A and B are shown apart, each in its own frame.
Chain A
Amino acid sequence: MARILLVEDNEMNRDMLSRRLQRRGHEMLLAVNGQEGVDICLAELPDLILLDMSLPVKDGWQVAAELKANPKTALLPIIALTAHAMADDRQRALDAGCDDYDTKPVELPRLLEKIEFNLQAAANK
């Protein structure tokens, strides 16, 4: 299974999502703010990044832009997690370089599908 970095500032959401993904066989890396997300990503080079967009220190849009600008991390698939089901947020996430998005609260089967799809797509790049 994959190594997934989850960048999420809300403790409860982080705990919940990481545990649910762990029990489906994924290895989870956790970051609690945008800067930490970038740092861990550069150090660990995970297979995929789940990125909350409203983050302290550095928001998700900045993180995505930064990672996509760095050749080391440019190919890592990023799935944006946007809080509202707002078309605006989604478009902004995609514009910032995210490969896909999902809305919170997470519907696990749907997210798993997106993870699977984006891992496949990255492997074929």
Chain B
Amino acid sequence: MSDDHDDSPIAARVRELEAILEEKGLLDAQELDRALEAWTHRASPANGFRVVARAWVDDGFRARLLQDANAALPEIGLSMGGGLQPQQLHVVENTERVHNVIVCTLCSCYPIALLGPSPTWYKSPAYRSKVVSHPREVLAQFGLTLPETTEIQVWDANAESRYLVLPRRPENTEHLTEDELTKMVTRNGLIGTAAV
């Protein structure tokens, strides 16, 4: 039973659960809203952009990030905590030879702490089913045509781990500051459906 979670029935179930928990006095009516607001306020793609820009300018940070992302994030004041449990993060690096792309085929697992809420297409059955079997075609639909020689590695966030793509630093950006580089990074670049 690893099929799609249909949005509407699950949403209805969550609403019912919330109502029952409130009725039984186990949950304060505002408690959940407050927790969600605090969480989504901190969770933004701007966090992911900072991670990438730092990795581009600091080889030591990049190495630590690729080795153990959860241990490296606090160096720039970030973490994968804030949800129900701290999530394990893997940062996967694009190179001249390898391009990485991320999906959750079972539902919509996503590094929300670093990227904010996921885009609608990420949750669509079309993306989830096709990017695992035909990544080159899917990436082309996003306007990203990779050379035939580039090896594509797809990462299915099907269990406990979350992923973030470290895009390649664009050429001729040696003169840019870390702040300026931050502005070059895009959310799709961190999912792998864009180059940067």
- Do A and B pair up? The answer is no
Listed in ascending order, the chain B residues whose CB lies under 8 Å from chain A are: none
